[in-house]
Each structure stands twice: as C-alpha cells, then as structure tokens.
Amino acid sequence: MSLELQLAWPCTHITLEEVVTLDYDRQWLQTSQPVASLGAMRILIDNELLIPQFGLSVPAALRSFVAGPFDLVPTENVVTITAPAGTQTIALNVTVPVRRTAAELANELLRRGLTVALPEDDGHGYLLLSDTSRVGSDSFVRVSGSAATTLGFGAQLVSDRPWRAQGRDLYPGWDLLKSGLGRRPKFRVPILGTPVIKVSYTTTVSQCRRCRSTFVENDYRFTVGGDAIFIQNEDLLYQAALKILLTDLGSNPFHRWYGSRIRSRIGAKAVGGVASLISEDVRKALQNLQQLQVKQSQYQQVSNKERLYAVLNVQVRPHQQDPTTFLVDVVVQNASGDPVQLNIVFTVPSTVALMGSNMLYLGGPPR
C-alpha cells in the first residue's frame, strides 16, 4: 500500500499575514486582493501588535525608578495619586521608621481604598501605578505627597524621572472602504514611521489567488502537530486519476507522456467533435495511469483499492448555456471491484466559474 500527499482541498479564500505597504497618503493598505469580509480582517504590526478596528491605545503607567524595599518614616508617609477618575490622598500606616517591599505597599494601598489606579508589584520589586479608567492620550497618572520621593516617584535629583505618566495612542483605528473594484483597509489618520504591517483577510472568489476562482486549493496541508496529511486506497486512486487528467500533456519536461490534451480542446467550435476528443483523451490518460501503476508495483506495493483496474464509463456533456464548458463524468473501477466516480468541469479560463456567483454548480446539483 502506498501513500501520497493530499492535494485538493476546499478553498477558504483566506490570506494569512500578507506583508503590505502603505499608499502615498500613509493611510491605505495595498493588499494584493480585495477584502471580502470585515469580520475576518486582522492587522498585525511589527509581528506583535494586533490593531483592532477602533485603534490601539495604552493606559498611563507610572513605574518607580528604584526597587524596593522602601525605607519609610513617619514624617514622609503621605502619598497623593491622581488619575482621570479622581484624586486620592492616603496616609500610610507608619509610626516608626520601617522598611516595606513593593508588594506590601501595593496591598496596603488597596486595603486603604485606592481606586483611581491599580498598584502592583511588577515582580522585580518596583511599584507600578496604572490608570484603569481610560486609555490613550486622555489617560494619566500623577503622584505627589511627602512619600512620593521615598517610593521612587519624582526624585528631585533625577530630572528624567517624571512625576507623571501619560497614556499613548499607538495606532489609529481603520475602516474597510471601497477602493477600485473591491474594498481595502484604510487607517483613519496617517501612520508615522516604517512599521512592518501584515494583514490577514478573506478575499472574493473571483480574485482568490489560492484557488484562482475554482473553489479548490491544490496545496499541501498539515495537522496541528506539523505532520503532512496523506491519502491512500480509493482516495489515492481518485487523486491520481484527477492529476493525470488535469495536467497538460507535455508540461512535465521529465515525463512528457504524462497528462492529457483536454484543456487544449476547450473553446473549439465543433462541439460534438470536441466531446468525442475529450472522451478519447480521458481514456488514453487513464490507460497511461494503469501502465504507471504496473511499473510502480515492481518497486512498491500497490494495494487493490488504489490500483486502476478498468474504466467503466466516460460521459462528456456540453453545458446547455455555454458551449465552451464541458461536464465530464468518469467512473473507474479499482482492483477490489469498487467503483470510483470522478466529476470534472472544464471551461475556458475567465468565462464561467466552477461554481458561479449564484452559488449553483454547473451541470447539476453538487454530489
């Protein structure tokens, strides 16, 4: 029994983390395909910042410039913390000189009812005050009082250590707007700097580069564990037959006998003659597949379920409304006696999709 990588998958029309550039106005993102859905869009900047549609802002966070423990004295025990939600002044419980860690001070401030900012130990002995009421440029945290310097906020001798922290608007919001023949994302204000921008999105069927409007993506896929997905038995026979029928004869420079002339027949004027030629091409290609499997069996085990035994039926029908489109129904039988059915639609490129925009399958309902 042999294995083969599975190639054909239903196309999701999803583009993942496409690197895009900004247009001259620094607002439009130049995706290679139009965007079909707002809900599936993701904008990633510098491989770490996911930008929501309303933009990305961060709250003010003021970190002490020295790590604890902190030496407190009774005469310097008052701290005033101001944030957009209000101002609170708290007298620390210090009656004699005492040394306290950042975690102990954070717990005391919380017990004393501090609500304008969330104090916490950052894990390295520093005291961090973060605004919890707002984000962006409207967010701020300000520390004052006799204990401010002792706690590491606003030391007089260190001019680059502010008493105040301000929130920031990192990136503006964006919208999905009409651009040309489709829709593309546009930031609400120009972007500064040279960030690396990656966009994930779904595109329209007619513009999908993964399946080229065929609804079928021919590519490898892998499990969540990183293992390639293989097929065997009847599925392998189904894929092997489709591959040789869909490959242009002579396109493989190492095996020019491999493939068929079916695609070159499409578009000819003599519809009846074309159908006969396609039927003959199908039988010749499948006969070559049989010979290939005979040679393969000399070096590798070929199971009865994957071996092509006979071609039972080949039907070629032109589409009723488009003479350049043909529906080919092929029924083959493996060496185990099981029938395997192939359904293929051949059409001139860019005339009729395999499943049209009206969501109807050409040649009848989907099987």
Architecture of domain 232-347: Roll (3.10)
**Spatial distance between the Cα atoms of 132 and 333, rounded to a whole number of angstroms:** 69
Which of 203, 205, 293 has the alpha carbon at shortest distance from 241? 293
The CA–CA distances, whole Å, from 95 to 56, 75, 77, 268 equal 45, 9, 9, 100
> Which comes out higher in pLDDT, residue 81 or 264?
81
Whole-number Cα distances in Å, 351 to 119, 152, 206, 230:
65, 72, 11, 34
Report whether 70 contacts 125 (CB < 8 A): no
pLDDT band at 41 (very low <50, low <70, confident <90, very high): very high
- Per-residue model confidence as pLDDT tens digits over 143-160: 888 888 888 886 544 444
Residue 323 CB contacts under 8 Å (≥ 6 apart), including other chains: 271
pLDDT of residue 136: 92
Res. 170 pLDDT band, cuts 50 70 90: very high
How confident is residue 362, by pLDDT bands cut at 50, 70 and 90?
very low
pLDDT (tens digit, 9 = 90+) per residue, 284-299?
999 999 999 999 999 9
Mean pLDDT, residues 260-287 taken together? 81
What would the DSSP string read from start to end of 168-217?
Answer: EEEE--EEEEEETTEEEEEESSPPPS---EEEEEEB-GGG-TTTTTSSEE
DSSP class of 22: B
Where do the structural domains in the chain lie, given as residue ranges?
13-54+172-215, 58-169, 232-347
- pTM here? 0.68
Handedness of CA 139, 140, 141, 144 (dihedral sign): negative
Whether the per-residue pLDDT at 211 is higher than 60: the answer is yes
Q: Which of 7, 11, 85, 113 is nearest to 355 (CA)?
A: 11
Please give the backbone phi and psi of residue 313, each rounded to the nearest 5 degrees, phi first. Answer: -160, 140
| Per-residue model confidence as pLDDT tens digits over 244-259 | 988 889 999 999 999 9
* 13 token code pair: 């029309």
Burial code of 196-214, b = ≥16 C-beta within 10 A, e = fewer? Answer: ebbbebbbbbebbebbbbb
